Every structure is written in structure tokens, then in C-alpha cells.
Amino acid sequence: MSERIAVVGVGRMGANMARRLQEAGYSVTAVYDARPESAEALAKELNCANPLKLEDVTALADVVITVVTDDKAMHQIFAPRGDSLLNNAKGRIFINCATVSPAVHVDIEKRARRVKASSLEACMASSINQARAGTLYLMVGGDSKVFERAKPILDALSDQGKLLRYIGRAGQAAQVKALVNMVMNINTAGLAEGLGLGSALGLDLKVLMEVFSQTGANSRVLVTDGEDMLNRDHSCFFSAAHAAKDSGIAYALGQQAKLELPLAKAALGQFRKMVKVGLGELDKSGVAELTFKGRGPRKKRSASKKAKR
């Protein structure tokens, strides 16, 4: 645990990962965010630095974990010139946890190698509570030797490595992550249609969900999202906006491969529609707002956090 760790991008996920690593005995030396006030508050909590320059983050750490918004943010923090995590980065390991396009991970790995640093992608298939508890499901892509070096840190985030999967070379973990979320989003949007139609037909939705759970209609999202769809409890674990982003990444991969993916397209359409009508910050279970009669964007939904899961 001699490595000094910095975290770049301290939204709900990144901040909880920093808290978890400090709790696990690691020295968290710096945090950074595009919104300096976020980094400042967390730095106070963790008693660490909050540099305003990216190159100062690199100077303070051996391992830099990044959890930023999108492809563009990744290119900015790893800019080839100007202020960048890559300045004087020789020997550093970058662990990139955001869901971004697979090609971005390949590109960042090249950029890191050029300055004699290393990078990994560690794609997460879990949410905020798991980040805090150190029980994230992590899919890792990149050089296997770099993976071995980073493994103790990754273990501390993934239930002592029980939820850690090495997938393959750079980009492949991000591809798997995109596919996971593509299929999950299809199942979620499909479940919302089944329950919405059941409601319109006047069926007992508790009985309907029970039958789903005992038949070929069963799925993980039935367990995680079914009741929330009935109760309109769409406080956010994984937002519709994120679902739209991830389905968009997967759908783009399909287009590049010249595949027809009508279900993926339909699910992407639903989550993009949520964003368009102002429901993007609801949990993905909020897709039921589009399929139940009498629901929809005009009714205000609370977005308060909830404790369960």
C-alpha cells in the first residue's frame, strides 16, 4: 500500500472510490475535478491536496484513477500538450474507470506509452453504493503486466478481487461494458413495456411480476427495476442519460460492424427520448414513464437519493 493514489473526476462514483481506498489503507494524496468546488470539498474530507492543474495531480501520485464524463473529457485530461495528466508522467499508472468509447482507451494507452506511463481501463458494472463499499464489478482491459501491478488497488475496489475480471487488451473491457449495458437497457425498456401494457389491461401487476419471475420473462432488471417501475420510484442509481450514452456507444460499434440491431436501436430511442423530454436524470427504471398510461414528463418526479441496494 505504498502507492500514492489520486482521483480525477470526483462525482458520486469517483468520490466514493477515493473514500473507499483511503479506508482500505491507501494514501490518497490528491483529488481533482473540472468543478474545483467538488474537489475542494472532498479534499477537506480526505485531508489531501486538490491541485488546480492536472500536471500537479500527476506529480503527487503513483497511480491516477480517472472517472470522467465522456470521450471529450478523457481527451482533455490526457491532452498531448498544455496542462495534462501526461506531463512528467513517466512510471505512472492511469486506471480509467469512466464509460467511454473503446477506441478512446486504445488511444489513451498509446499516449501513455509515449511518455513511458501505463494505462488500464477498469469499467464498472455497478453503482454508487458499491463504489463506497469497495464491491464494484470491474472489467479490466489493457496490458496484463500492468494489470498485475495494479491488482492490489483494483482488489480493494472489487470485494477483494471477487468481482474483478481481466477481459483482454485495451478497448475490450469497454466493449464488454457497452454490450452489458446495451442488453441491460433493452431488457429494462422491454420490462417497462410489459408492465405498462399489463397496467393498461387492468392486470394485477404484483401477480404479473411474480409470473415474469417464474418464467422465460425473468431477468436481473425485473429484480432491480420492476418494483420501482410500479411505484414510480426513479431516484437515480444509473440515470437514463447514462443509459442513452452507453447504448449509443454500443449502437455505434454495431454500425461500424455493419450489423442491424433493431432492439438496441429501439432501446436507445427510448432513453434518448427520456433525455429529450427532460427525464434524463431519472433512474433508467424511469423508462416506465414512457410506457404507462397517464405518466410522462409533465408529472414531476422527485430525484432524491435512496438508501437501498
Interface residues with a copy of itself (CB under 8 A) are: 125, 137, 139, 163, 165, 167-168, 172, 175-176, 179-184, 186-187, 189-191, 193-194, 196-198, 200-201, 203-204, 207-208, 211-212, 214-221, 224, 250, 253-254, 257, 259-267, 269-270, 290-291, 293
By beta-carbon proximity to a copy of itself, the closer residue of 82 and 216 is: 216
Tell me the β-bridge partners of 32. 8
Could you tell me the end-to-end alpha-carbon distance of the chain, in angstroms, rounded to an integer? 30
Residue closer to a copy of itself, measured from CB, 25 or 202: 202
The answer to whether 266 and 199 have CB atoms below 8 angstroms apart is no
Q: Which is nearer to a copy of itself, 198 or 280 (CB)?
A: 198
- Please give the full DSSP string across 94-139, using - where no structure is assigned: EEE-S---HHHHHHHHHHHHHTT-EEEEEEE-S-HHHHHHTB--EE
Comparison of 196 and 280: residue with beta carbon closer to a copy of itself: 196
Choice between 36 and 296, CB closer to a copy of itself: 296
Least distance from C-beta 264 to a copy of itself, angstroms? 5
Write down the least CB distance from residue 58 to a copy of itself, Å.
32
Tell me the closest approach of the beta carbon of residue 265 to a copy of itself, in angstroms: 7
Least Å distance, CB 267 to a copy of itself, is 6
Edge-to-edge strand list for the sheet holding 4-8 = 27-32, 4-8, 63-66, 93-96, 118-124, 138-142, 164-168
Least distance to a copy of itself from the beta carbon of 254, Å? 5
Query: From the CB of residue 81, how many other CB atoms can be counted at a distance below 10 Å?
Result: 7
